[in-house]
Amino acid sequence: MKHDKLAETVQTALHAQADAYTVPDNMKERIDREIAHSEHRRDSMSRFRVKKAAAAAAVFTVLTGTICFAGAKAAYTVGQSSSIPKYTSFADLGKLEKEVGVKTCAIERFSNGYAFDGLFVTKNQDKDSAGNTVHKYDNIDVSYKKGDNCIRYMITPGQRGLEASEVTQQFDVQGCAYYYTETQNLFVPPGYEPTAEEQKAQDEGRLNIAYGASEVEHKVSRQLTWADGAATHELFAMDVDLSAQELLDMALEMQ
Amino acid sequence: MDEAGLVERMKCGDKEAFGMLYDMYKERVFRTACLIAGNQADGEDIAQETFLKAYVNCRMLRKNESFRYWLFQILNRTAWNVAGRAKREQPQEEPYGNAVPKTDSTPLLTLLHAEQTSAVWQAVAQLSYKQRATVILYYYNELSTKEIAHVMDCMEGTVKSRLFTARKQLKKLLPPDVSKEGIYYEA
C-alpha cells in the first residue's frame, strides 16, 4: 500500500467511520431465518410431491380412468434432497444424467425469460401401504429462475403414475400427450387439524394438505407432465403465475 | 479447524461451520458493507444478503482457501445491486452521515478527528461506486490491487487506475490541510 499523508488520512478516517458501525445482535438470527425459509421453499416442493402421490394412491382403487402411465403401485413416495444444488453449471448436466441414468431435454434458457439456476438430485423411495420400500430411484431436478420466481423441471427414469381425476387439461401434440394439473395446496404445521371444509376438499381431491410447514400457507401449484419411453418429465411451478399454455410452450421448447 | 476446513464442512450443509465463519467475518463484512453503502440500513441488507448467498451458493466455490475473496466478491456484487436500487429510489435518510469516532485522548483531539473523518467521509461519498469500493477495499480492508481485481472482477490495471483517479479526486475535494499536511495527526 502506498504510504503517504493522504493514504494515512483516508485510512484513519475510514477506520473511525467503520468503528461507529456495530453489527446488529440479531443479524445472524435473520440470516438463519432466511436460510431456513429458502430451505423450506425447497422442502415444500418435495413435501407436495409426497402428499400428492399419497392422495393419488388413496383414490386409485375407486377410480377407473387412469392415464396411460404405468407402474403406480406405491402407496406413497418419500423424496429427499439437499437445498444446495449438486451442480451450479449447466455444463454439468451431461455428467449428472450419466450419474442418475436418465436423459433430460433441459435447455439453459427459455424464451419467456426463465434461466437455468441449478441442478439437484432427489433420492426417492416408493413405499407400500405398510411403509415398506418397494422401489428406490433418483430423479434430476433442474431449477430455473426469473426474478424471484422459480420453476422446476423434474425428470424421473421410467413411467410414473398420474390420476385421470387430477388432470385439469390435456394437450396432444405430435403424438405426445401433455397433462396439465392445477392444485390448491395448504401447507400446515405438524398437528394441524383441518376444518371440516378443508377435510371435505381434500377428500374430494380439490385440496392437497401438506404437513410440516412452520405456518399455514395457501399456495397454488401447476404442473405439466409428459412421458417418453424412458422417463417421465414434469414442469412444476409453485405459486408462480404461469398458464397451462405457457407451461406447454416451455415443454415444447425443450423438444 | 482452519478456515478451508470450515468451508468444506459448510459445503456439506454444516450450519455450525457456517456460524464459525460468520463470527470470523461478520465485523469486516458488515463494516465494509456500511462504508460502501454509506449508511447502516443498506449495510445491514448487504451484509445479510452476502452471508445468505455465501451459504446457499458455497458449493460454487472451487478453492476453499479463496473463501475470503469470494465472500468479498459476493459483497461487492450485492452492494453494487443495492447501490443501483438506491439510486432509483428516494434518497435515504442521512446517507453518508457523520460517524463519531469512539475513542480519543482529549476533547480537542476528538473534535479534530471528528472533523477530519467527516471531511474525508464526505469526499469518499462523492466518488463513483467503483472508485469508492476500490478505495474502501484498499485503505480499509488493506487488500492488494491484485486481490481487489479478483474481488471486483476486473484487471489489476483497472484497479490501479481507479485508485489513482480516486486519490486525485479526493485531493481535490479535501481541504489542503487534510489532504497534504494531515495537521490533525500532529495535534
Torsion angle of alpha carbons B16, B21, B25, B30, nearest 10°? -50
User: Which range, A121-130, A161-170, A226-235, B95-104, has the best average confidence (pLDDT)?
Assistant: A226-235
- Nearest Cα residue to A55 out of A251, A221, A226: A221
Q: In the numeric block, which cell numbers belong to residue B104? A: 480519543
The pLDDT-based confidence of A60 (bands split at 50, 70, 90) is very low
**Chain B CB contacts of A12 below 8 Å:** 113, 116-117, 185
Residues 11-50 of B with CB under 8 A from A: 11, 13, 15, 19, 22, 26-27, 30-32, 34-35, 40, 43-44, 47-48
What proportion of chain B, given as a percentage, has pLDDT over 70?
A: 78
Under 8 Å between Cβ of A45 and A238: yes
Considering CB atoms only, which of A6, A27, A30 is closest to B170?
A6
Out of A232-236, B14-18, B105-109, pick the least confident: B105-109
B1 to chain A, any CB pair closer than 8 A? The answer is: no
Give the pLDDT score at B3: 92
Residue A130 confidence (pLDDT) above 70: no
The pLDDT-based confidence of A182 (bands split at 50, 70, 90) is confident
What proportion of chain A, given as a percentage, has pLDDT over 70?
A: 72
Give the pLDDT score at B181: 41
Please, what is the average pLDDT of chain B?
A: 81
Mutate to test the interface with B, among A17, A33, A80, A86 (most CBs of B within 10 A): A17
Rounded to 5°, the CA angle A83-A85-A87 comes to 170
Mutate to test the interface with B, among A31, A86, A92, A150 (most CBs of B within 10 A): A31
DSSP state of A159: -
Chain A to chain B, count of Cβ pairs less than 8 Å apart? 119
B59 to chain A, any CB pair closer than 8 A? The answer is: yes
Q: What is the pLDDT of residues A74-111, one digit of tens each?
A: 556 666 666 678 899 999 999 999 988 888 999 999 99
- Residues B149-168 have a mean pLDDT of 92
Residue A43 confidence (pLDDT) above 70: no
User: Which residue numbers of A have CB closer than 8 Å to B's CBs?
Assistant: 1, 5-21, 23-24, 27-28, 30-32, 34-35, 38, 82-86, 88
What secondary structure does DSSP assign to A205-220, as a single string? Answer: TSEEEEE--SS-EEEE
Residue B119: closest C-alpha in chain A: A13
What is the crossing angle of helices B15-37 and A27-60, to 10°? 130
The pLDDT-based confidence of A61 (bands split at 50, 70, 90) is very low
User: Which range, A179-183, A184-188, A199-203, B132-136, has the best average confidence (pLDDT)?
Assistant: B132-136
- Answer whether 0.90 is exceeded by the pTM: no
Considering CB atoms only, which of A17, A24, A84 is closest to B44?
A24
The pLDDT-based confidence of A6 (bands split at 50, 70, 90) is confident
Residue B47 confidence (pLDDT) above 60: yes
Residue B43: closest C-alpha in chain A: A21
Q: What sign does the dihedral B76-B79-B81-B87 (CA atoms) show?
A: negative
Alpha-carbon gap, residue A219 to A52, rounded angstroms: 14
Per-residue burial over B66-76, b if 16 or more Cβ lie within 10 Å, else e, is ebbbbbbbbbb
Mutate to test the interface with A, among B40, B52, B81 (most CBs of A within 10 A): B52
